[in-house]
Structure formats: C-alpha cells, structure tokens
Chain A
C-alpha cells in the first residue's frame, strides 16, 4: 500500500533516496565549515593540507571578537529573563481565563511570527533612533524579545495545557496560598517546558542577524553582526572558526531544548 509500512519496496527505496540525498545536502555545509576552521590553509584550501587550532587561537586573542562574544551572551541572558517574565504570566492568562476576544489576543501575541523580520527591524530602528537608543544593549534586548516572545509563549502554554490543574487545587486545599501553590507545585512540574522555552529564546537572540544589524552601533556589536560585516569584507579562516562555534553552540542548545520539549512534533 502506498501509505503504510507494509509492501511496496520500490516506493520506499525511491523516497528513501530523496531523503538520504537531502540529509547530506543539509549536513555537508556544517561539516565542511568545521573542517575549514581546523585546516592549516590561509586560503581555506579543501581538503586542508594539515590541521591546526591556530584560527581559534587568533580569535580568542582578538579583543573585538571577544567583546562581541560577551555582548551576545549578556544580551541573550537578558532576552531570556524578559521573555520568561512576560511569557509565564501571559500563558497562565491564556490557558486559565475565558473572555470575549481571547482568540484575538492570542493571535496578536503570536503575530510577530507572521510579519517579515525586515519590517519589524525597520520599524524598531525608527523607534530606537527617536529614543536615541540605537547602539545600546537595551535596543538589542527589546528587539530580540519581540521576536522570541511568541516561541517562549508557545512552549510555556503547551506545558501548562498538559498540567493537571487539580494538583494545584489540592495544594491550595491543603492550606497553601495560590501564589505558593503555583511557585511550589505548578512551576516545578512544568519546568521542562519552561527550560526549553528559555533555551529557544536564547538561541533566537544568539543567532539574530537582521534586527541586530539595525540595532548595532560602532561600539556595540553581537557575534552575528560582526560575522556579517566580516563575511562581506574579507573571507578568512577566522570566520570559519566563528561559524563553527556558532553552529556547535546552537546545535547543542537546540538539541537539549528539543529533547525537553513536551510533545515535540505538535509544537513546531
């Protein structure tokens, strides 16, 4: 049958070939850039003549790259804090209340997902210019939070929907206040969902290019912004090293977040 596991080996083989080729196409660039970053060739010859850590050494000795790294890290952490501070209460509001226009509120809260990032970037750029905040950390944090919030909301509401509210009520019957019941019972039970939401928010901030490009100033750059300017200026093995660090860090974080995500397939 064409839609069951049994029978029709020809079909399965054909489809399998497409999948196999596509997976190679997806994975090859990651392996390739990692190989270049460890290759001992100034002109990035492939396959590399010999192996070295030289480009990583140069990278960690370069103050501009280090500054960008720390800025990215700080901004990412602030974005996680802001996202969770907004998403956790809002998810409680969405899951546990009923009112007229709730569907509209829900749509509005996820609408940054549907507007092209370039438009959000231009709009926020105008706002930040007016406020004199371009090139400040605050501008980065606000911009990243706008696009990361819908994802954080998605993870937290999904986790909260899967939590049995009667457990929280039981704690309240036993004498806990509502706040105490939420803090000590509800939030710990959905901690996996919260953690995966936080990780996704961090990865979005960590890898954001377009918004960051507009928010950046001469003294304030994140890793992707610096990488962006380098990619266009001159191509060196140092960029391959940064690219490899970016790939490795995002891959590890997302793998953890994906493993923790409740009902992974339905959520994304």
Chain B
C-alpha cells in the first residue's frame, strides 16, 4: 500500500515540474527583472513617487471597488430568485449565465462598444423615447469600463452567493417569523448574515479580477484614465521601459496577494468565532 501511495504521488510530478518551469520560475524572474535596472530596488520607490503612477493605482482600486459594489447589488437579487424560483427555471437561468461567462470575451466587448456608443442603438432608443435630450456618453470612459466589467464579472458573484444561500435552512426564517420578527428584520438579522460567506467570496474574486483586467479598459475605457494592467502593457510593449513595467506588475501582484491573505485571515477568524473546527 505504501508503495502504491508513493507511485500515485509521483504522478503529480509532470504537472508540478511544468508549473514550476513555466509559472513559478517566470514570476521570480519577473521580480529579478524589476530590480535589475540601474536603480535596483529604488525602481519601486521611484515608480510610486510619480504622480502618474499613483493616479493609475488609485483609479485601478476605485474601479475595482465600484465594479464590486455594482455587481453585488445586481447579483444578490439574481441569486435570491434562483433559490426560490423552482428547479426548471433556475436550471435555464444558470445555463445562460454560465454559458455567457465562457463565450468569447473579445467578441462580446466589441459588440458592447457598438451597442452603447453615442450613435448606437441604446442611445437612439432612449433619444426616440424622449428620456434623454442628448446621447449619454457610455463608451470610452469610466462608465464603459463599469458596463464591461459588470458584464464579465456577474457570474463570479452570482455563483458563490447562490451556493451559500441555497444551503440556508428555510426553517430558520420560519422560526424567526414565529418568534414575531417582521420580514425586514428576518432579512437583515438572519438571512443576510448567513449569506456573508458567499458574498465575501464573490466580492474578493470580482475585486481582484477587475483590478487586473486589461482588455475591458482597453476596448471600452477612455484614453485618460488608465488602469494598472494597461500601464504595464504600455511600458513594456510601447516604451520598452522594462524596469517600470515589471515593477508595476509586482505592485499588482503584491496588491492581489495582500487581499487574498487578509481574506483568508478574516475567514479564519469568522470560523473560529462560530466555534467550528
């Protein structure tokens, strides 16, 4: 049995070696490249002390936050509906959401950019209905980025929230109701707290992913408010400024890691408080 165990463990080696060579080692090399410039470690200090980079960093975090909040506000009612709507309907809606998550990203963004541009059908419809008097600028600005990111991130918020919400025992609500709690109280004091694990997982995934996005802001965003990923590409591809480009990538990586670590710690604290193993 011991021998079989060892043999089975050895089956992991090819995948491990592959990822070490083509994932872990390149990431280390990236770090090496960022400090191998004439400024060494000072590259990081120099970068963060420029006004432009700080604005980009701030814009990236702001965009991440607004995308997360918007997605949460829409995803929560969707997950809720999926839990109470009956199996057949929920299967259909699930299918549409999951398939839309995997269909060609670039093709969808291309279509969004035409659909919501100033002379696009959406603006024309709103104009002809008399709801607006001038076209709403929804593309090539921060609104465009928000629309595009919401579009791509929605499934990543719906799925974890649905997963926790569908496991809540409806008898808990009934108990609260029997004890005289109103529906609003039940929602705020019982249901929402029980959904928190799913909400936090969804928020973390959406926040981290949207901060690292390159394609969405490049296709739908404006030329002036760059995001971190665009800065990285611009520096390495256009200006061949490897030190700045790789240092910015390291900043993004560190930001991502910090969020994950804080999240894992919070989850640890939460489970300890509930007295679960």
A residues touching B (Cβ–Cβ < 8 Å)? Answer: 1-5, 8, 12, 14-16, 18-19, 22-23, 25-30, 32-33, 36, 44, 46, 85-87, 89-90, 92-94, 96-99, 105, 108-109, 111-112, 114-120, 122-127, 142-143, 145-146, 149, 153, 200, 203, 207, 209-210, 224, 227-228, 231-232, 235, 239-240, 242-244, 246-247, 249-251, 254-255, 258, 264-266, 268
Contacts and interface: CB of A to CB of B under 8 A. Distances in A.
Contacts of B253: 115-116, 119
Nearest to B194: A3
B103 A247 contact: yes
A2 B154 contact: no
B107 A209 contact: no
Contacts of A93: 8-13
B11 A89 contact: yes
B151 A26 contact: yes
Contacts of B246: 122, 126
B37 interface: no
Contacts of B218: 232
Contacts of A117: 212, 214
Interface of B: 5-6, 8-16, 18-19, 22-27, 29-30, 33, 74, 77-78, 80-86, 93-100, 102-108, 110-112, 114-115, 120-121, 151, 154, 159, 163, 165, 168, 170, 173-174, 177, 183, 186-187, 191, 208-209, 211-215, 218-219, 229, 232-233, 236, 245-246, 249, 252-253, 256, 260
A209 B14 contact: no
A19 B96 CA distance: 11
Contacts, number: 257
Contacts of A143: 22
Contacts of B99: 251, 254-255, 258
